Amino acid sequence: QQQVKQSPQSLIVQKGGISIINCAYENTAFDYFPWYQQFPGKGPALLIAIRPDVSEKKEGRFTISFNKSAKQFSLHIMDSQPGDSATYFCAANGTNFGNEKLTFGTGTRLTIIP
Amino acid sequence: DTEVTQTPKHLVMGMTNKKSLKCEQHMGHRAMYWYKQKAKKPPELMFVYSYEKLSINESVPSRFSPECPNSSLLNLHLHALQPEDSALYLCASSQVGMSAYGYTFGSGTRLTVV
């Protein structure tokens, strides 16, 4: 129940195209859903996040769509650029005995080709 | 200062060695975390400190020993590691109760056990 399933495992998109990464969860107690971007040799960096009472959040070229009834959320990257090439992790925040814990998805390696 | 600084960046150690990883933040965050990340995998939570007290230990082997000497520092003491412990070790920090809102990762220590 603590799992977050992420797809696809890898994604190749042409420059200027839309990159879409999907995640699904089971635990309805998750209360916050962030996306992290990780470049090789670096730690993950928070990209954008959403609460379950909101269906969409947009920040620049990045949009999260959230479907609470389906327990799914996705990241859309508009006008994808070569600099967006990185590994993306979705995550879900839950509280267990008063302790917060982030559960990460398995990751998507995104490659933007010119 | 919005950074989490980890030292060293790279570490090679033998199976009989004792070494320590260090993490420092000056953002006033009172929750600090150790994660382990294997290649092409998501970060896995190891330990959580909240107000300098260990609040989560994810059943990590005793050859990993965390320490939080003050609100800015987090150490991970390593002893008698195995080659399978080779990984990227990430430190992160956040406000207590706000882990998903403001989770800042360091760049990690790349550990190789020989």
Reference A69, options A57, A83, A52, A86; nearest CA is: A52
Q: How many residues does chain A have?
A: 114
Contacts of B100 in chain A (CB under 8 A): 31-34, 49, 91, 93, 100, 102
Scored b (16 or more CB within 10 A) or e, A54-76 reads: eeebeeeebbbbbeeeebebbbb
Find the mean pLDDT for residues B86-101. Answer: 84
Quickly state the pLDDT bin for A98 (edges 50, 70, 90): low
Listed in sequence order, the residues at least 6 apart from B67 whose beta carbon sits closer than 8 Å to its beta carbon are B74, B75, B76, B77
Write out pLDDT tens, residues B2-56: 699 999 999 999 999 999 999 999 999 999 999 999 999 999 999 999 999 998 8
Question: How much is the pLDDT for B100?
Answer: 58
| Cross-chain residue pair B103–A46, CB shorter than 8 Å | yes
Quickly state the pLDDT bin for B58 (edges 50, 70, 90): confident
| Cross-chain residue pair A107–B41, CB shorter than 8 Å | yes
In chain A, the percentage of residues whose pLDDT exceeds 90 is 80
Query: Looking at CA atoms only, how far is residue A25 from chain B in angstroms?
Result: 16
| Cross-chain residue pair A100–B103, CB shorter than 8 Å | no
Residue A97 has pLDDT above 70, yes or no: no
Question: How much is the pLDDT for B70?
Answer: 95
Residue B101 has pLDDT above 80, yes or no: no
Listed in sequence order, the residues at least 6 apart from A63 whose beta carbon sits closer than 8 Å to its beta carbon are A48, A56, A57, A75, A76, A78
Listed in sequence order, the residues at least 6 apart from A21 whose beta carbon sits closer than 8 Å to its beta carbon are A6, A7, A8, A11, A74, A75, A88, A90, A108, A110
Find the mean pLDDT for residues A72-80. Answer: 98
Quickly state the pLDDT bin for A100 (edges 50, 70, 90): confident
In chain B, the percentage of residues whose pLDDT exceeds 90 is 84
